[in-house]
Amino acid sequence: MSVFAHPDFDDHEQVIFCHDKASGLKAIIAIHDTRLGPALGGCRMYPYASDDDALRDVLRLSRGMTYKSALAELPLGGGKAVIIGDPHGGKSDALFHAMGDFVDSLGGRYVTAADSGTSVPEMQLMAQRTRHVSGAAPREALDGGMRNGDPSPSTAYGVFLGLREAVRHRLGRDDLSGVRVAIQGVGHVGFDLAQQLTAAGAQLWVTDVYGPNVQRAVDELGASAVRPQDIYGLDVEVFAPCAMGGILNADTLEALRAPVVAGAANNQLATPEIAVELQRRNCLYAPDYAINAGGIIDVCYERTGGSPAQIRAHVERIAPTLALIFERAAAEGLPTSVIADRLARERLRGPVHA
């Protein structure tokens, strides 16, 4: 299939297929839109079942980054990179050096960062070959002290605030004490979110395809472990997807019982029609690129300069943005995803405020 005829091609400016025989690198970089600034988006590593699955993911993710930055009022465009490979056993210095070379060849049109399957060490390797990488150097933490360049704490903080706003809107509760939350994926962002939810008094059920992540949540937070296939049907108030995309589909919706969906994963809806079905079922969906924008806000300030207090204040704007989306959706009888897209396009055409 031609890239231009692909159902997820959305007037992307550039799609680059990257192959380095020596390291075994196979990757795709997609630049969706650079009207507001350079296309910034993470570099994901995942063992895709096919090249077409990888292409579909990178096309959808890069478009989502355009809307995420616009909705968060950042001077950035949208892009994404995916590496086809096993993040637990397929990494090498040479592979990420080669990926850095490909990023560098774009001359700053695309700026990369950590994503699912990659973290600070991989960003440091890429930074040896290109300056167009974020999240590779130590920085001041939001709550004081120092941290590495990983922006996931800011992502998790924004998701926590957005989840709390969704609970307030759908359940009429101003606190999370006793609220039951099912978290799908307890990696960097998911575990940080779980910590914040535990501190707020929520009860947690967790799952992850990587067993040690689940055990850590059980041991350190007292969470209850469940099998991956059982996470959807739990009798909880909130389902928080924090792993891969496409998990809200016709099959999983049949099992889903939670009245709120609010999590960190990108591209949670398998198709746009799923949003209509969620609305029909009176299930409040927090649009993924609205609620998980904390990381891109963090990375933006790393590039432009700004204090932890400024980053925190900008991340905290996620909650009122979601409140506006929820209120408009209720008033107009439309899915929250439709309203989020409309609001992102409005902001894409207007001035941004970093």
Active-site residue numbers?
80
Say whether 135 sits in a helix, a strand or coil: coil
Looking up tokens 């209509």 gives 276
With residue 243 as reference, give the H or E element that holds it. none
Whose structure tokens read 């390797």? 125
Residue 351 host element (H or E): none
SS3 content of the chain, % helix, strand, coil (to 5): 45, 20, 40
Helix (H, G, I), strand (E, B) or coil at 81: strand
Pairing mode of beta strands 77-84, 25-33: antiparallel
Q: Specify whether the CB–CB gap between 239 and 206 falls below 8 A.
A: no
Q: Is 280 exposed, middle or buried (0-12, 13-18, 19+ CB in 10 A)?
A: exposed
Q: Closest Cα to residue 30, out of 66, 5, 76, 1? A: 66
Q: Sheet harboring 260-261: ordered strands across?
A: 224-225, 203-207, 180-184, 238-241, 260-261, 284-285
